[in-house]
C-alpha cells in the first residue's frame, strides 16, 4: 500500500520512484535484518524475521487509532449470513502460524521495502464459508480503518493460503502494521493486503481499489525480485556516489530472492557486470511465500573492482531482466553491487 514512508515522513509512491536518484537511491538503504559488512558472516545470520521496529512501512494515509473494544470485521454484501466478528473472537479461532515475506509493489531490486516476519491469525476461507458467498459474487471489496480500499476476485479471496494475522513476531500487530487485524494474501504485493481491516464486501462486479484506479496493477502478484544481504558498502547511497563495498577475497556473497506463488527455482550471480553467470547455492528455499536465501562463493584471482549482478528465476521460468522500469506492476531488474577487492 502507499504512500511509502521512510521513518516518519510520508512519501507518496510516485515521489518514491522519482525523487533524487529514484528507486536506485533508495534501493541501497540497509536491510531490516542481520546485515554484515565484509566476509565474516555465517549462513544463519541472514533471512530470519525482521524486527517489528525495523520492518518497512507503507500506508495510504496516517496510522488510524482503532478502539479494539468496538472494532469489528464485517463480512457482507453478497453473502447468505453477514458476519460481524470481534477481536476476541478472531483470537479464539484456530490459528495459522507462518513465517512469510511481505513486499511493497514499489520495492526496487535490492530494495528495502520488504521484510520477513512470523505471522499468526485464523484462516480466512472458513469465515467466508460461514458467511456463505453468493454464486453471483465476482469480487471481494476490502476496506481498512484508514480509508484504504482494494479488491480481489472471489476465487483469489477464497484461496486456502489467505489468513488474518493479529500477531507479528510474537506480539500484537504494532499500530503501523495494522492493529488489530490485517489481511495476508501470500504471493501478492502489500497493496492487496490491507492493514486495519474492517470490511470484506462481496460484490457482483470488478472492484478497483484506490491505487488500481490510478493505473497500478489490479493483479499485483509479485514479480521475481532479488537483492543482497552481504557484503554492503558503508555508504547509504553507494549507487549515487560510486561507493563500493571494500572486501578481501575469497568471500561469500549472501542475498535474497522472492517471487509469486511459483517460488524461486534458481539464482545466478555474475561478477563481470553480466557477461557470464554462475549458480548460487540456495540455503533456504522452503516456501514460495518466504524469501529464498542464497550464497555465492567469490574467489577472484586478482584484486580490483568487480560489478556483481544477480539473476533469479521463478518456478514458471521467468528470469530477472537486466532492467525493468516501474510501470505500476512492480520491478524485476537485476540488482547489482560493486565490490572493491583489496586482497586475494
pLDDT for res 243: 76
Residues forming a β-bridge with 132:
none
Give backbone dihedrals phi and psi of 18, rounded to 5 degrees, phi first: -120, -5
- Say which DSSP state 250 is in: S
Assess whether 26 and 164 both reside in one domain: yes
pLDDT tens digits, 96-130:
999 999 999 999 999 999 999 999 999 999 999 99
Assess whether 37 and 140 both reside in one domain: yes
Assess whether 25 and 84 both reside in one domain: yes
Report residue 60's pLDDT band, with 50, 70 and 90 as the boundaries.
Answer: confident
Number of Cβ atoms within 10 Å of the Cβ of 325:
10
Assess whether 137 and 252 both reside in one domain: no
> What does the pLDDT average to over 28-56?
62
- Domains: count for the chain: 2
Of 184, 214, 244, the domain-final residue: 214
pLDDT for res 197: 98
pLDDT above 90: percentage of residues in the chain? 83
> What does the pLDDT average to over 12-37?
33
pLDDT tens digits, 160-217:
999 999 999 999 999 999 999 999 999 999 999 999 999 999 999 999 999 999 999 9
pLDDT above 70: percentage of residues in the chain? 85
Assess whether 12 and 79 both reside in one domain: yes
Assess whether 139 and 210 both reside in one domain: yes
pTM of the model: 0.87
Report residue 34's pLDDT band, with 50, 70 and 90 as the boundaries.
Answer: very low
- From the list 233, 249, 224, 258, the residue with the least C-alpha distance to 336 is 233
Amino acid at each position: 500500500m502507499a504512500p511509502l514512508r521512510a521513518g516518519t515522513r510520508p512519501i507518496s509512491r510516485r515521489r518514491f520512484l522519482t525523487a533524487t536518484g529514484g528507486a536506485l537511491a533508495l534501493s541501497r538503504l540497509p536491510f531490516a535484518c542481520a546485515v554484515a559488512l565484509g566476509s565474516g558472516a555465517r549462513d544463519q545470520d541472514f533471512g530470519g524475521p525482521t524486527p517489528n521496529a525495523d520492518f518497512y512501512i507503507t500506508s495510504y494515509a496516517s496510522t488510524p487509532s482503532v478502539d479494539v473494544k468496538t472494532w469489528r470485521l464485517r463480512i457482507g454484501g453478497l453473502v447468505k449470513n453477514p458476519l460481524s466478528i470481534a477481536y476476541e473472537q478472531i483470537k479464539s479461532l484456530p490459528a495459522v502460524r507462518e513465517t512469510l515475506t511481505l513486499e511493497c509493489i514499489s520495492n526496487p531490486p535490492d530494495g528495502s521495502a520488504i521484510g520477513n516476519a512470523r505471522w499468526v491469525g485464523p484462516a480466512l476461507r472458513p469465515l467466508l464459508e460461514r458467511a456463505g458467498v453468493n454464486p453471483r459474487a465476482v469480487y471481494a471489496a476490502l476496506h481498512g480503518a484508514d480509508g484504504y480500499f482494494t479488491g480481489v476476485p472471489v476465487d483469489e479471496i477464497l484461496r486456502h493460503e489467505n489468513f488474518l494475522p493479529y500477531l507479528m513476531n510474537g506480539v500484537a500487530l504494532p499500530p503501523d502494521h495494522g492493529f488489530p487485524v490485517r489481511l495476508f494474501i501470500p504471493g501478492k504485493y502489500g497493496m492487496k493486503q490491507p492493514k486495519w481491516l474492517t470490511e470484506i464486501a462481496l460484490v457482483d462486479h470488478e472492484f478497483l481499489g484506490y491505487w488500481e484506479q490510478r493505473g497500478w496493477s489490479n493483479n499485483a502478484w509479485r514479480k521475481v525480485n532479488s537483492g543482497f544481504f552481504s557484503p554492503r558498502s558503508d555508504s547509504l547511497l553507494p549507487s549515487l556516489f560510486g561507493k563500493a563495498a571494500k572486501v578481501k577475497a575469497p568471500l561469500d556473497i549472501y542475498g535474497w530472492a522472492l517471487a509469486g506463488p511459483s517460488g524461486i527455482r534458481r539464482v545466478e550471480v555474475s561478477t563481470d557486470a553480466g557477461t557470464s553467470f554462475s549458480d548460487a547455492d540456495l540455503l533456504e528455499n522452503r516456501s514460495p511465500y518466504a524469501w529464498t536465501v542464497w550464497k555465492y562463493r567469490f574467489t577472484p584471482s586478482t584484486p580490483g573492482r568487480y560489478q556483481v549482478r544477480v539473476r533469479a528465476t521463478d518456478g514458471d521460468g521467468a528470469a530477472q531482466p537486466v532492467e525493468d522500469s516501474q510501470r505500476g506492476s512492480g520491478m524485476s531488474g537485476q540488482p547489482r553491487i560493486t565490490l572493491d577487492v583489496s586482497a586475494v
